[in-house]
Structure 1
Amino acid sequence: MATINFYLDKPDKKGFSPIHLTINCNSERVKLSTGEKIKQENFDKETQSVKENSERATEINHYLAYLKDRADDLLNNSYKKSYTNNDIKKMLNGFVSAYKENHSVKIVREQVELYGNPFTFVDLFAGAGGFSEGFLQAEHNNKFFDFLVANDINENAELTHVVRYNHQLGLDADFLCQDITEPDFLDNLLSKTKDKQVDVVCGGPPCQSFSLAGKRRKFDKKDDLFSHYLEVIKVLQPKYFIMENVKGILTKEKGKIKELILKEINSIVDIKEIPRLSSFIKSLKKTNVDSSFLLDCLIKRIEIEQFTDSKSEEAKEIYIKTIDSKFKKLTPNIADYKTSKTDERISTIRHGFNLLVRNKEWEKLKRDIIREKDFCNIDNDYFVDSFTQFLTDIDSNEIINKVEKAFNKLNVAKEFKQSCDDIIEALKIYVLNIDDCLTMIRAYCDKVQNRELDEIISDIRLYKIEAPFIANSSNYGVPQNRERVLFIGCRKDQKFISEIPSTVTEEEKVSVFEALHDLDFIGNNQEAHQYHLVDISKQYNGTAKLMKSLLKKRSINGKPIKIKGKTFAEWSRSGRLNGRFKKATKPFYVKNEEALNKGEKVYDLLHNHKTSNQGEDVIKRLNIILKEGNYKRAQEELNQCGLSSKKRNYNVLKPDSQSPTVMTIPDDYIHYNSPRALTVREMARLQSFDDSFVFQGKRSTGGNNRKTELPQYTLVGNAVPPLMARAVALEILKNIK
């Protein structure tokens, strides 16, 4: 039986004694320096810990307990049956070295421009940081990316960012943990960019709930995040921006949502060109005398785009009050005094103007209601319809619909009908995007004027975009078939990018076996803290030669090369970050922000590699599915054995091909060689994250906690694959001016 203890060596000149760890087993003794020193009076021999009132007691005690735990793992829970004294010392020294290295450097260092030309980027809806990771890997002709700010609403995303980019890589990249819909979000974002020009903005705003005007919406926290993302683009005006989304967005509502997204992007204008467009619209009044009012409204609507925040709200208020003024002058002609004061239709029109003028206040109220509705889980119940109805009714489009309905029910004399129609049309212009305004202007132009308008449109659109691009991550060296839609906006003074060239051919794609084979030493309900040698010849017997043939030497982007190449697993272990991060410290794990502040860090040699504790029946079920190679084919045998499941699907990984899209639930996948789910590290490998990228916080969660928490599995499953992000970043670096 082994005993593991700590003792203090002789004190140095300052009175500090080194703490040593000793292991006694079968008359053999292993002695190891922990790298920590304390004064003898601050050490409690009985409890084998630093006394609580001592400096850094919490941190050092956590570290000692961690070392003792790792030593116990080696001696009692190891995959290998026996170790020599040198083996034990070598492995424990690995943990000690990581700890020492992290305590010999300043935690947060400024980004140093070692060479080349840096371009800045901001990562919105960052999650784990897949975009950030890929952008930091990219380098072309001495051009690289300087990370300014990441944003997400979740604290565990922030914790993962702070540990990876501030502590480990030593960057000064900031994190804004705030909802993008909050009124002061833009001000806070700008303060964190420290007045630096932002060259690129990337992110994946959820567009799933984005819908057409007038349609009922679910009204959840994801509503309208896309438009808030575009508001950031309007203010920052980066040279390029990238929006990532699910493939289904292209076919939602028969493709109308995709077209609406493109319209909104085309509606971001170069404000320097607005006076030119305004002058052009004024000139149209000469040949469209009867439409002067509407043309003036189009001018006012377009000029609103010049402003942000309070000035924008002021311009919107003036717009509505101008229309209201026209209605007040018209009212005596369409209703007598008594009717104008008591009629429901007239009141609807008047009150509609009041509601529109107070749009900012109603939008704030809408955000608060949606937040509370989400907090109370209002969905699929008797409450949801009334909430949805109210939120629909206070939307500007719905207010205008009711005003139009009221106008249509009035018995207006023919001579005043046009004025009423103009008021309705003016209200509709108020909610139009700029792209639709430009289409409306075209209706007032002749052939010559249309040509002039074409030139103005070309100059006033700040971003060039033709169509979204479907990117499959497996085309960029990622061992996963994950199709995503990329909207790439190119500022008009930059080279146009319409797609991201593949880095590998169909035959060259990285297989699941290449990604995971060296991690296949772990069983059910086990956790590994370091790598172990995997002997393919022993594991696969007759098929060993075939399995070994799957391993290829590759460049970083997955392209097979013979000279200076590494296998995908070797790249994952050594890391894909470039030479700017030579001073990066060893990775570590913390369970939460409090643990980080207390210094309760875990310096393992391998992180996030823990399997679930699956029961006997589950293992038998997975074994049958694994043997059949397909869940559907396994159904008959599962039924016969009484092991059928209500689970909709299991994906059996194929070692010689790519995995399906990695999602957030590990139980959806079965390892190609063992009847078990995947670990966080294995899912991270399939996403192309380096092993040095540690996912922080809880490993998993369930139930309603999924609404507020972002555990490791969710961080991994929701992420943009870094190698795909790297390909995007590289294409931008090749073209950016």
Structure 2
Amino acid sequence: MATFNFYLDKTDKKGFAPIHLRINCNAEQIKVSTKEKVKPEEFDKETQSVISSSDRAVEINYYLGYLRDRAEELFNNSLKTRYTDKEIKDKLTDFVNAHKEGHDVNIVRKSDPSNGEAFTFVDLFAGAGGFSEGFLQAESDNKYFDFLLANDINDNSELTHLVRYNYQLGLDTGFLCQDITEPDFLDNLLGKLDGQSVDVVCGGPPCQSFSLAGKRKKFDKKDNLFAHYLEVIKVLQPKYFVMENVKGILTKERGKIKELVLTEINSIVDINEIPKLSNFVGSLKKDSLEDAFILDCLVKRIEMEQFTEAKAEIEKEDYIRAIDARFKKLIPNVVDYKTSKTDVRVGTIRHGFNLLIRNKEWEKLKRDIIREKDYCNIDNDDFVDTFTEFLVHLDAQEIIDKIEKAFQDLKVDKKFKKQCGDIIHALKIYVLNIDDCLTTIKKFCNKKQEQELQKIIDDIRLYKIEAPFVANSSNYGVPQNRERVLFIGCRKDQQFISEIPATVKEEEKVSVFEALYDLDFIGNNEEVHDYQPVDITKQYNGVAKKMKGLLRPRSIAGKPLTKRNGKTFAEWSKTGRLNGRFVNAAKPFYVKNTEALDNNQRDHALLHNHKSSNQNDNVIKRLDIILKEGDYKKAQEKLNQCGLASNKRNYNVLKPESQSPTVMTIPDDYIHYNSPRALTVREMARLQSFDDSFVFQGKRSTGGNNRKSELPQYTLVGNAVPPLMARAVAMEILKNIK
């Protein structure tokens, strides 16, 4: 039985005494320096802690407690039963050194121009930082990426980014923790960027309602986030942008959503070319005098694209007011005075204009209602239809439809029908995107004018994109079959990119065993903070040669190397894939929340996020049966016989020689290939291709309604873009960017 206590050594010339950890076991004594010092009067020998009035009491006491826990872990929970004094001292000294080095980092460090040519990027909907990691790993022809800013709405995403990129890697990368749909988001984003130009924007707007497996909701707060993402693109106008989404977006509503996204991308214009288009549309009035009003409306709608959001809102109001004034001038010719004051149809038209003029306020109200609806989990109940119907009626297109029907019901005299039709047409132009405006303009052109318009269209479209690209992460050295759709927008002055070439062939793909074998030393309800040796021969008696044959030396991108001078996937995970750019990086550490970070309550370990779930005996028996059968469906009969049936929809048994299925956010969905247990956060991170030095912060998991507001480690991992896939995207951009 070992005992642990802290004591003070002799004071130095400045009056500070070093704190040492003393371990007594079997009449043997081991002493380890903590590399912390305090004044003797600030140390309470009784409690073996620094007194609370000391400046760094919270930080040092947390560290001492953490170091004691690691010492106890070595003696009580380690797989290895016998250690020499030197081995114990060396292991504890590793934790001490990691703590010391972690406090010596310079938080703000810009890229060094002498290292090559830097291109800047921003990561929206950043989550854990899969895109960020991949872009920082990329380097081509002495070109690399400089990370300016990340954005997400969740505090734990911000904490994970802050620890990784500011504290650990020493970058001065900013973080904007705000909902992209909020009215002042763009202003705050530009404020954070402080005039810095952005070369690439990447991000995966979370669209659960686009998923083939998820529920399809009306007015889900996630449903229109890609439109807000594109609003950022319109303002920043980067050289390239990458938008990642689930594969289901291609087939949603029979492909209409995909076409809508492409149309919106094509509607992003080069504002320098807008005057040319405006002048052209204005010139059409010479041959179409009767349509002058409509052509003027098209010009006004086109010119809105060159304004900032605040200015555009003013222009929209003025646009509707002008049409409203035209209606007020027309109405005495359509109905008599009494009817104009009392008729429901006239009231509908008049009040419809009021609603459109106040569109900005109604949009804000819609956002608030949708947010509250989502927070209260209103779905599949007697409330949902009422909310949906109300929100539908606030939509600008719905208001315009009602105005149009009111005009039709008025049975306007033939003499004034065109004027009424022009009002309706003008309102429809109000909700058109630029792509649809261009289609409308073509209707006023003769053949020669149409050719001239086409040249203007080619010049005014800022981004080139033909179709989205389906990427499977296993083609890029990730040990996981995860299909995602990538929309890659290429600014017209840049080389066109239509796809991301695979870095590995089908027969070269990284296996689950390559990714996880060296972490297979953890049992049920255990947490391990150090790597342990794994003996494949003992673990896989009879098939050890086959299992060892799965391990191959590879390049960073996963390509097998013929010479045995490369690293295995597991070795790359341990040493890191940042390609030597961050040689002065601090040691990785974990904090449970922002307050702990502020108080320097950091856990410096050699291995992080490797904790297994506490599964009861019945769960372990159930998983063992499924594991032995190799498939959940095949195991059903045996589970029923043993009284171990479960209502769980599915379990995925990992196959060591192949790739894992798509990593999601719930660890219990997966069964380890060699043990009847769920995966740890670190194991799921390996399947996503995150380096071991990337530490997921905050809570490990959460449940129930907390999933709406919290982003625990498992969710951070499961929602992330695999870094190696992101790296492949970044490499292709670096090869082409000018």
* Shorter-chain TM-score range: over 0.9
Task: Return 407-416 or 231-240, whichever deviates more.
Answer: 407-416
User: Aligned letter for 1:598?
Assistant: N
Residue 209 of structure 1: how far off its partner (Å): 4.5
- Pair 1:619-2:620 in alignment: yes
Q: Report deviation, 1:217.
A: 6.0
Aligned equivalents of 2:113, 2:372: Cα separation in 1: 46
Question: Who is 2:195 aligned against?
Answer: 195
| Deviation at residue 708 of structure 1 after TM alignment | 0.1
Q: Provide, for residues 432-476 of structure 1, a one-character-per-residue CA deviation record: whole Å limited to 9, x for no partner.
A: 110011111112222222211111111000111110000000000
Name the CA distance, whole Å, in 2 between partners of 1:217 and 1:48.
57
Q: How does 1:107-506 map to 2 (within 5 A)?
A: 107-209=107-209, 218-506=218-506
Query: 2:170 is aligned with what amino acid?
Result: G
State the 1:114 CA deviation.
Answer: 4.5
CA contact under 8 A between 1:590 and 1:596: conserved in structure 2? yes
Looking at structure 2, the residues matched to 639 and 671 of structure 1 have their Cα atoms a distance apart, in angstroms, of: 22
Q: Which runs of 5+ in 2 are unaligned?
A: none
Deviates more, 1:216-225 or 1:277-286: 216-225
Cα deviation digits, residues 327-372 of structure 1 (max 9, x gap): 1122112111110111000010011111101111111111122222
Q: Deviations over 1:279-334 (max 9, x none)?
A: 11122222223322211111111111111122111111121112112211221121
Q: Which amino acid aligns with 1:492?
A: K
Question: 2:124 and 2:315 mapped to 1: Cα distance?
Answer: 29
Decide which moves more: 411-420 or 130-139.
Answer: 411-420
The CA distance in 2 between the partners of 1:477 and 1:594, in whole Å, is 37
Deviation at 1:272, TM superposition (A): 0.9
Deviation of 1:379 after TM superposition, in Å, equals 2.6
Distance in 2 of aligned mates of 1:44 and 1:628: 58
Residue identity in the other structure for 1:202: C
Secondary structure at 2:541 match in 1: helix
1:114 and 1:580 in contact (8 A); partners too: no
Q: Is the 8 A contact 2:477 2:510 kept in 1?
A: yes
1:676 matches 2:677:
yes
For residues 55-105 of structure 1, the C-alpha deviation after alignment (integer angstroms, 9 at most, x for no partner) is 201100000011101100101111111111111111111101101111233
Residue in structure 2 matched with residue 54 of structure 1 by the alignment: 54
Is residue 111–residue 172 contact of structure 1 (8 Å, CA) maintained in 2? no
SS in 2 for 1:128: coil
CA distance in structure 2 between the partners assigned to 1:611 and 1:686 by the alignment: 16
- Structure 1 segments, 4+ long, off by >3 Å, are 107-114, 207-211
Whole-angstrom distance in 2 between the partners of 1:269 and 1:108 = 36
Q: d(CA) in 2 for partners of 1:459 and 1:253?
A: 31
Distance in 2 (CA, whole Å) between partners of 1:472 and 1:394 is 40
Partner residue of 2:581?
A: 580
Superposed displacement of residue 583, structure 1: 0.3
- Report the CA distance between 1:210 and its aligned residue: 7.5
**Number of residues of Structure 1 aligned to a counterpart in Structure 2:** 733
Report the alpha carbon displacement of residue 377 of structure 1 after superposing the two structures with TM. Answer: 2.7
CA distance in 1, matches of 2:374, 2:653: 35
1:120 deviates by: 0.5
| Residue-by-residue CA offset, 1:221-260 (whole Å, 9 max, x unaligned) | 2132111111111111100000000000000000011001
- State the one-letter code of the partner of 2:489: G
AA of the residue aligned to 1:205: P
1:705 aligned residue: 706
Alignment map for 1:81-96 (pairs within 5 Å): 81-96=81-96
Alpha-carbon distance in 2 for matches of 1:687, 1:498:
24
Which amino acid in the other structure matches residue 592 of structure 1?
A: N
Note the aligned Cα RMSD (angstroms).
1.3
Alpha-carbon distance between aligned partners in 2 of 1:516 and 1:111, rounded to the nearest angstrom: 34
Q: Judging changes above 3 Å, is the alpha-carbon distance between structure 1 residues 565 and 614 closer, same or farther for their aligned structure 2 residues?
A: same
Whole-Å Cα distance in 2 between the matches of residues 275 and 591 of structure 1? 54
* C-alpha distance in structure 2 between counterparts of 1:687 and 1:650, whole Å: 19
Between 501-510 and 440-449, the greater mean CA deviation after superposition: 440-449
Report the residue type matching 2:545 in the other structure: K
**Contact 1:164–1:694 (Cα < 8 Å) also in 2:** yes
Letter in 2 for 1:56: R
- Residues 217 and 388, structure 1, Cα contact 8 Å, conserved in 2: no
Counterpart CA distance in 2 for 1:156 and 1:230 is: 25
SS in 2 for 1:458: helix
Is residue 2:724 matched to residue 1:723?
A: yes
Q: What are the superposed Cα offsets for residues 613-642 of structure 1, whole Å, 9 maximum, x if unpaired?
A: 111111111111111111111111111111
Q: Please state whether the residue corresponding to 2:67 is helix, strand or coil.
A: helix
- In the alignment, the residues of structure 1 paired with residue 671 and residue 396 of structure 2 have an alpha-carbon distance, to the nearest angstrom, of 49
Shift of 1:5: 1.0
Give the Cα separation in 1 of the matches to 2:629 and 2:554: 32
Cα deviation digits, residues 562-620 of structure 1 (max 9, x gap): 25310000000000002220000100000000011111100011000000011111111
Conserved 8 A contact 1:168-1:585:
yes
Q: Which amino acid letter does the alignment assign opposite residue 716 of structure 2?
A: L
Calculate percent identity across the aligned residue pairs: 76
SS in 2 for 1:92: helix
Equivalent-residue separation in structure 2 for 1:42 and 1:469 (angstroms): 63
Question: Hey, what does 2:690 align to over in structure 1?
Answer: 689
Q: Distance in 2 between matches of 1:161 and 1:103?
A: 17
Amino acid of the structure 1 residue aligned with 2:453: L
Task: Identify the residue that residue 552 of structure 2 maps to in structure 1.
Answer: 552
The 2-side partners of 1:270 and 1:123 are apart by 23
Cα distance between partner residues in 2 of 1:42 and 1:330: 86
Q: Which amino acid aligns with 1:255?
A: G
TM-score, normalised relative to structure 1: 0.98
Provide the C-alpha distance between the structure 1 equivalents of 2:104 and 2:299, rounded to a whole number of angstroms.
62
Structure 1 SS opposite 2:373: helix
SS in 2 for 1:529: coil
> 1: distance between equivalents of 2:540 and 2:233?
53
Say whether the 8 Å CA contact 1:5–1:48 is kept in structure 2.
yes
CA contact (8 A) 1:210 1:226 kept: no
Which amino acid in the other structure matches residue 466 of structure 2? E
